[in-house]
Amino acid sequence: MGVVEAARAAAREQVLVAMLGIPRLLAHPVWRDADPDQGRGVGVLLVPGFGFGDLSLHLTATWLRNRGYVPAGSRIGLNVGCTTELVDRLEKRLQAHVEATGGPVVLLGQSRGGGLARLLSVRRPELVRGLVMLASPVLDTLGAHPSVVKVARTLARLSAMGLPGLLDEDCFQGSCYETNSSAMAKPLEVPAVAVFSHNDLIAPPKLCADPCAECVEVGSTHTGMALDPELYELLEPRLAAWARAGEEKRQEPELVPLAHSA
């Protein structure tokens, strides 16, 4: 890629540029043609990307709600904290959403959020109906674009200086890193979809291709993936199938042993 092409590609990853795609999403049939019974009340826990909060997935939550799902935010702030601490917090949030919706829920995470959701799926598979990872470099969590890793290491230095609630050095090379790297490599026990894009400058597609998931490609940028109609076109039938499967399981009749005659 030449210098000019690289500069143009980098510009497309800017948040404000990605937001220019919102009108296209809102005008698309995949947004407007909503079946309110599709989700059957299935819960979905949304986990934002590195440096972003729940507001970044607001449109995704709206799309889900319009189709009968029950979306919930992660409540982990800007997703810049220690990996282990964030997964612990997400586990409590997952348990609460399972109780609120009456059954296992879907985990949907973008970028680092998808990695956290995968770790949570490995830890508590009985609470997870399905997993969606959007542009999540789960095969190498430190393999994202150097600029992103640089920001993360800066946060670790600030943590060492006493600023709370941030990634620390243990997340890069200590027990936290080793524990979560081992967990990330474990096979999934839940159905999963990993979405990647060759236009993604942040998370290389080869690092997003989870061998335990159905891997699908879209044409969006990293930052704009959750604003791309193509993403929702591919997610809609998969989420609907998970919702139907859950309902069929709940409706299975309980088998009562026949009494033996004397």
Helix (H) or strand (E) holding 60: helix 58-65
Angle between helices 112-123 and 83-101 (to 10 degrees): 70
Q: Is the Cα torsion angle 226, 229, 233, 239 positive or negative in sign?
A: positive
- What pLDDT was estimated at residue 12? 62
- What pLDDT was estimated at residue 3? 37
Q: What are phi and psi of 252, to 5 degrees?
A: -60, 130
Tens digits of pLDDT across the chain (262 residues): 543 344 454 556 677 777 888 999 999 999 999 999 999 999 999 999 999 999 999 999 999 999 999 999 999 999 999 999 999 999 999 999 999 999 999 999 999 999 999 999 999 999 999 999 999 999 998 888 777 878 877 877 876 777 777 777 888 888 888 999 999 999 999 999 999 999 998 999 999 999 999 999 999 999 999 999 999 999 999 999 999 997 666 554 444 454 544 3
Amino acid at 6: A
Number of H helices, E strands in the chain: 12, 6
Decide if 83 contacts 180 (C-beta within 8 A): yes
Rounded distance between C-alpha atoms, residue 159 and residue 168, angstroms: 6
Rounded distance between C-alpha atoms, residue 97 and residue 123, angstroms: 16
pTM of the model: 0.87
Q: What does each C-alpha distance from 245 to 128, 129, 199, 208, 217 come to in angstroms?
A: 13, 9, 33, 26, 24
Q: Which domains does the chain have, with CATH numbers?
A: 12-28+38-245 (3.40.50.1820)
